[in-house]
Amino acid sequence: MRVIKSLQLAIVAIASICITLSASAQDNTLLGAGSTFVYPLFSKVFAEYGKTHDVKVNYQSIGSGGGILQLTNKTVDFGGSDAPLNTEQAKKIGVPVLHIPMASGAVVATYNVPGLTTGLDLTGPVLADIYLGKITTWNDAKIAALNKGTKLPDMPIVVIHRSDGSGTSYIWTDYLSKVSEEWAKKVGKAGAVNWPAGLGGKGNEGVAGLVKQTPGAIGYNELAYAIQNKMTYADIQNKAGKFITPTLASTTASSNVELPANAEVSLTNTDNPKGYPITSFTWALIYKEQKYSDRSAAKAKMLLDLMWYNIHGGQKNCEPLNYAPLSKSALKVAEKILKSATYDGKAIL
Amino acid sequence: MSLLNHPSDPKVKETATVNQNKAIMKQNGSESSIDKEQVTRMKNKRLDLSYSQLKWETIFRRLLMIMSIILLVLVVGILITLIWQSMPSIKALGIKFLWGKIWDPVQNIYGAYPFLIGTLLTSFTALIISIPFSYAVAIYLGEYNTKGWLSDLLKNTIELIAAVPSIIYGFWGLFVLVPIIRTFEAKIGVAPYGIGIFTSSLILAVMIIPYAASLGTSLIRMVPSPLKEGAYALGATRFEVIRSVILPFTRTGLFAGVLLSLGRALGETMAVTMLIGNTSAVANSLKAVFFGPGNTMASVIANEFTEADHTVYLSALIELGLVLFFVTVVINLIGKRIITKFTNN
């Protein structure tokens, strides 16, 4: 009996601890979940914000899809996503969700061609043909025509793609769908597609590992990852016909165009002649009407203040972490979107 | 089967009988204490003890039973959840999910065939590669070198193989094994990817050796020495003793070890995901099937589950889990049949 009693005591103690913890968690803690891509930036920005404000932010990098699901279930205050809500997700949530651009990122074509360390030029249609399995060797006439003066080896192209569902694949396939009708018809755009050719690697590191190891390989990685791991990547021709080297500046430039008011826009194949064509925003997702469940007005204000800081003061953390900061036009749109958030029908900011 | 259908009924009965027993014990206890008081307490200490012992026996038995039933409920629960969650996909795709060759999340077409083949191919190839090693190790450690530091070292090392996390195997495979295989593939004239079904089978083979090997070692050590001595007395050589006494005696157990390895191979995810190439296209030539990239059910689930962004997609992945569940069950049942057949002979 003594054992049972002490067990009971223990259970009561644990339960009370849980209750007090969750009660304290509601006071000054904001919960977020989603994109792994934006996680390093978020953790840095939130840590800095926490130094000057009495706010703790707990962001779980579980993937964009998971973040959207958690937001739908109202278990988090905000989600992080590399792709806007799709129609089914929007239908499930049922109420308007604001997409606030936080930063932008680029996806680069990484390659491993022996003897070719820099300066490979590619166009969108050629990339699409490579990924469709139509161009199979490096000295194909189409690639050679873009790289006059470069000696390309007679080597089979090994196409590498992501095997896991990811925002990176979404941006990549979104771009290929825009520049190649055949790709749009046959494959389409999504975080995971039915790849017509090649090998799959799990995660950025899986793709990078395969590209680095396999002579003749081509793959795609986030720009930040490619920079950190000193990979070679190709210049891509943009809509204006210029070959653009992917950098943070050319990534930011790609979003410096006329943007729709809700910022739910794909930046790939940008109109900006200085912009790198395979880029995307990463968004924070919040409910437009912040009065749901039993949220207090103070909490809604706290969340909006945090988001406001993210797009202003927080932006200085982008470049050291290899994220492209928001462009002027993106910032303007983001400010407007934040101001449109309401609590019980009244504007918060 | 009645347990499967009504998991709650037996429990209710259990508690009822426990209460009855308690009541009876209390009655007995109180009666004896009223009758003789102190005398009884002094003389029948042993009797009291046996009552509490009896009570403890019952509690212990019930405890064991409840634990086992919990496990049963758990497995049935998993099955029900899998079926329940895969309903949207079953409704949308029907039975042709099993032999559909296309896995296209954009068009919402899902077929498990490439992954089913991939899973079976990698597991059985791995098993065939691993059996000679695990049997050799089992015989060597069980019969030739049963004591001493070398034997201990070998046995511990082999058990360590099972303890290494599978992601370590994945990385080792990716950085060490893959370049070797790539050179090999270039020599035999297949596309030199380095990763693919063959590579993952090799890694799987290494990973599953300990299961059959350590079970086999223990079993071979347990062969009664009179049997072996009898054979030696008849003039048999060591090899003959192994072949005609030890192996027939331990056949069932050795096979059970193999079955255990197979179970591990079927479900192994991480290392395979890193090495198999993850493509859902079905290869057209035998060479390409074996050396080319493929995919297994477990690795598709691991890869795509977190970002499966619409209902049917998610549900199709869960249905893959259900198929994997059934494949494992069927293979285990066949294995059990084979074991009973051997044992009867």
Domain CATH number, residue B141: 1.10.3720.10
Query: Is B28 among the domain residues?
Result: no
Residue B7: its pLDDT value, please?
42
Which residues from chain A sit within 8 angstroms of residue B288, using beta carbons?
Answer: none
In this complex, how many residue pairs, one in chain A and one in chain B, have their CB atoms less than 8 Å apart? 99
Do A193 and A166 touch, CB atoms closer than 8 A? Answer: no
> For residue B113, how many C-alpha atoms fall within 13 Å in the half-sphere facing its CB?
14
CA distance A192 to chain B (A): 7
Look up residue A77 and give its DSSP letter.
S
Both A182 and A193 in one domain: the answer is yes
B105–A187 CB contact, under 8 Å: no
CA distance A170 to chain B (A): 11
Query: Is A274 among the domain residues?
Result: no
Q: Which residue range is the domain that position B138 belongs to? A: 96-344
Both A133 and A197 in one domain: the answer is yes
Both A112 and A221 in one domain: the answer is yes
A201–B278 CB contact, under 8 Å: yes
Helix (H) or strand (E) holding A265: none
A194–B277 CB contact, under 8 Å: no
Residue of A nearest to B196 (CA): A199
Which residues from chain B sit within 8 angstroms of residue A63, using beta carbons?
Answer: 306-307
Beta bridge partners of A342: A289, A347
CA distance A65 to chain B (A): 5
Interface residue of B101, B106, B269, B280 to substitute, partner A, most A CBs within 10 Å? B106
Both A100 and A157 in one domain: the answer is no
Do B293 and B280 touch, CB atoms closer than 8 A? Answer: no
Both A111 and A226 in one domain: the answer is yes
Helix (H) or strand (E) holding B28: helix B8-43
Q: Which residue carries 């191979």 as its tokens?
A: B265
CA distance B278 to chain A (A): 5
Both A97 and A160 in one domain: the answer is no
Q: Interface of chain A against chain B, CB under 8 Å?
A: 62-66, 68, 86, 88-89, 156, 158, 163-166, 187-202, 206, 209-210, 213-214
Interface residue of B175, B307, B320 to substitute, partner A, most A CBs within 10 Å? B307
CA distance A158 to chain B (A): 8
Query: Is B56 among the domain residues?
Result: no
Q: Which residue carries 């027993």 as its tokens?
A: B21
Query: Is B292 among the domain residues?
Result: yes
CA distance A212 to chain B (A): 11
Both A190 and A127 in one domain: the answer is yes
CA distance A204 to chain B (A): 12
A200–B311 CB contact, under 8 Å: no
Which residues from chain A sit within 8 angstroms of residue B310, using beta carbons?
Answer: 86, 88-89
Query: Is A36 among the domain residues?
Result: yes
Residue of A nearest to B181 (CA): A214
CA angle A318, A324, A330 (to 5 degrees): 105
How many structural domains comprise chain B? Answer: 1
Q: Mean pLDDT across the stretch A28-51?
A: 92
CATH of the domain at A319: 3.40.190.10
Question: CA-CA distance, A168 to A268, in Å (whole number)?
Answer: 12
Do B276 and B294 touch, CB atoms closer than 8 A? Answer: yes
Look up residue B191 and give its DSSP letter.
-
Which residues from chain A sit within 8 angstroms of residue B278, using beta carbons?
Answer: 163, 199-202
Nearest to A198 among B175, B279, B310 (CB): B279
Both A206 and A322 in one domain: the answer is no
Query: Is A72 among the domain residues?
Result: yes
A164–B103 CB contact, under 8 Å: no
Query: Is B233 among the domain residues?
Result: yes
Helix (H) or strand (E) holding A200: strand A199-201
Which residues from chain B sit within 8 angstroms of residue A214, using beta carbons?
Answer: 182, 193-194
Question: CA-CA distance, A38 to B135, in Å (whole number)?
Answer: 50
Both A101 and A190 in one domain: the answer is no
Both A323 and A302 in one domain: the answer is yes
Instruction: Report strand pairing: A279-287 vs A78-81.
Output: antiparallel
A194–B103 CB contact, under 8 Å: yes
Burial class (CB in 10 A: 0-12, 13-18, 19+), B188: exposed
Which residues from chain A sit within 8 angstroms of residue B194, using beta carbons?
Answer: 213-214
Residue B280: its pLDDT value, please?
86
For CA atoms A280, A72, A166, A39, the dihedral sign is: positive
Which residues from chain B sit within 8 angstroms of residue A209, using beta carbons?
Answer: 174-175
Do A207 and A162 touch, CB atoms closer than 8 A? Answer: yes
Q: Which residue range is the domain that position A83 belongs to? A: 2-105+280-347
Helix (H) or strand (E) holding A131: helix A124-132
CA distance B236 to chain A (A): 54
A187–B193 CB contact, under 8 Å: no
Q: Residue B51, SS3?
A: helix
Do A70 and A196 touch, CB atoms closer than 8 A? Answer: no
Query: Is A248 among the domain residues?
Result: no
Both A66 and A111 in one domain: the answer is no
Beta bridge partners of A107: A222
Choose one of A169, A200, A231: the last residue of a domain: A231
Burial class (CB in 10 A: 0-12, 13-18, 19+), B48: middle
Nearest to A193 among B106, B174, B299 (CB): B106
Look up residue B147 and give its DSSP letter.
S
Question: CA-CA distance, B215 to B251, in Å (whole number)?
Answer: 12
List helix spans (H) across B104-148: 113-139
Question: CA-CA distance, B226 to A346, in Å (whole number)?
Answer: 91
Mean pLDDT of chain A: 89
Query: Is B65 among the domain residues?
Result: no
Q: Check residues B192 and A177 and name the one with the higher pLDDT.
A: A177
Nearest to A193 among B105, B179, B310 (CB): B105
Question: CA-CA distance, A34 to B133, in Å (whole number)?
Answer: 45
- Closest to B47 (Cα-Cα) out of B25, B14, B72, B17: B25
Question: CA-CA distance, A149 to B226, in Å (whole number)?
Answer: 82
How many structural domains comprise chain A? Answer: 2
Nearest to B174 among A64, A156, A209 (CB): A209
CA A259 distance to own-chain centroid: 18
Query: Is A226 among the domain residues?
Result: yes
B273–A62 CB contact, under 8 Å: no
Interface residue of A164, A211, A218 to substitute, partner B, most B CBs within 10 Å? A164
- Give per-10-residue mean pLDDT for chain B (345 aa): 42 46 48 55 63 86 96 96 94 90 90 93 95 93 88 91 91 91 87 89 94 91 91 92 91 89 91 90 80 92 87 93 94 88 68
Choose one of A231, A255, A288: the last residue of a domain: A231
A192–B304 CB contact, under 8 Å: yes
Q: Interface of chain B against chain A, CB under 8 Å?
A: 102-107, 174-175, 178-179, 182, 191, 193-195, 273-274, 277-281, 293, 295, 299, 302-304, 306-311
Both A114 and A215 in one domain: the answer is yes
Choose one of A214, A231, A248: the last residue of a domain: A231
Which residues from chain B sit within 8 angstroms of residue A195, using beta carbons?
Answer: 279-281
Residue B14: its pLDDT value, please?
45
Residue type, A194: N
Which residues from chain A sit within 8 angstroms of residue B306, using beta carbons?
Answer: 62-63, 65-66, 164-165
Q: Mean pLDDT across the stretch A306-330?
A: 93
Query: Is A265 among the domain residues?
Result: no
Residue pLDDT, tens place only, A89-108:
899 999 999 999 999 999 99
Residue of B nearest to A84 (CA): B309
Interface residue of A172, A194, A205, A211 to substitute, partner B, most B CBs within 10 Å? A194
Query: Is A314 among the domain residues?
Result: yes
Residue of A nearest to B301 (CA): A164
Query: Is A241 among the domain residues?
Result: no
Residue type, B142: G
Question: CA-CA distance, A141 to B143, in Å (whole number)?
Answer: 66
Residue of A nearest to B180 (CA): A213
